[in-house]
Amino acid sequence: MSALTDTFTMSNGVTIPKIGFGTWQIPNGSEAYDSVRTALEVGYRHIDTALAYGNEESVGRAVKDSGIDRDEIFLTTKCPAEVKDADGARRAFERSTSGLDLGPLDLYLIHAPWPWDAIGSDHRAGNIEVWKVFEELYDQGRTRSIGVSNFEVDDLESLAGATDVVPHANQIRWFVGNTQDETTAYCRDKDILVEGYSPLATGELLDDADIARIAQRLGRSVAQVSIRYLLEKDVLPLPKSTTPSRIRENADVDFSLSAEDLAALDALGR
Ligand code: A2P
């Protein structure tokens, strides 16, 4: 049993490795290329990128050069948050798939319900329009599953009322102290896989004294306890690092957290 090779099964039967390698904020070129190569060498088989990260070309090249069969790797990318019309969504998909150059995707996500410069603004109609393109791409086999990111319950409900396919996954910011309980419970109820980005709160958890105490007792690092916490909650962690030793460390999480430790972690940040 290994967190790297174990899988979650999404509502459409597609399996997805339980830990993904996140590439947000890793610049295109040698940094993205080298870190994805390292992740694949260490054993990650799930890579998460986005058109907006600007690194799809390097990610695609790293996957190809790894020599690992394409069908052994789960690949996610995202349609930019700013795209809220059908033509824009089709163009974004073509750009991503030609940048990656790896054939059909495994998971394609709407990056956010609103553009990043207008967080919270109402794009319900636009999201429905984009989602209908996603349904087409899914029907055509150009992506094996489709989902959303940064969606809350209202955003998910508005899609559900006007479209056919329930998102297979929702990728949200999720870490100890930021467990998005309402959205997470809704997703569980609708069989939508929850993926957690920034499982280390982009590094902020690393000097948390409470997590450190638990980590020390278990002979683990704060990063490992924080990542393990998501797995214990059936949330798929997407840790990001450009440092080879940390890339390895973050996937070495085959241990359990006791009910007591979980309760202590649940209480943090509340
Ligand atoms: P770096 O990329 O320089 O290794 P998140 O996954 O929550 O977005 O957090 C990513 C941040 O945490 C990055 O700054 C990354 O630094 C750092 N980081 C990732 N893994 C570890 C680790 N195991 N130990 C310490 N810092 C880490």
Report the CATH number at residue 129. 3.20.20.100
Residue 243 maps to a domain = yes
pLDDT at 270: 58
Using a 6 Å cutoff on CB, does residue 56 contact ligand 1? no
d(CA 115, CA 111) in angstroms, rounded, equals: 9
Residue 184 maps to a domain = yes
pLDDT at 2: 85
pLDDT at 1: 59
Residue 266 maps to a domain = no
User: Probe ligand 1: pick from 200, 204, 220, max atoms within 8 Å of CB?
Assistant: 200
| Cβ neighbours for 182, distance < 8 A, ≥ 6 positions apart | 152, 153
Using a 6 Å cutoff on CB, does residue 29 contact ligand 1? no
Residue 156 maps to a domain = yes
Residue 68 maps to a domain = yes
Q: Which atom belonging to ligand 1 lies closest to the Cα atom of 199?
A: 7
Domain encompassing residue 141: 7-203+235-252
Output the CA 205–ligand 1 centroid distance in Å. Answer: 10
Output the CA 96–ligand 1 centroid distance in Å. Answer: 26
Residue 227 maps to a domain = no
Residue by residue, pLDDT tens for the chain (270 residues) are: 588 989 999 999 999 999 999 999 999 999 999 999 999 999 999 999 999 999 999 999 999 999 999 999 999 999 999 999 999 999 999 999 999 999 999 999 999 999 999 999 999 999 999 999 999 999 999 999 999 999 999 999 999 989 999 999 999 999 999 999 999 999 999 999 999 999 999 999 999 999 999 999 999 999 999 999 999 999 999 999 999 999 999 999 999 999 999 999 999 975
Output the CA 203–ligand 1 centroid distance in Å. Answer: 5
Output the CA 239–ligand 1 centroid distance in Å. Answer: 7
Residue 247 maps to a domain = yes
Residue 70 maps to a domain = yes
| Cβ neighbours for 3, distance < 8 A, ≥ 6 positions apart | 18, 19, 231, 251, 253, 254
Taking only Cα atoms into account, the Rg of the chain, rounded to an integer number of angstroms, comes to 18
Structural domains in the chain (count): 1
pTM strictly above 0.95: yes
User: Probe ligand 1: pick from 36, 174, 240, max atoms within 8 Å of CB?
Assistant: 240
53 labelled catalytic: yes
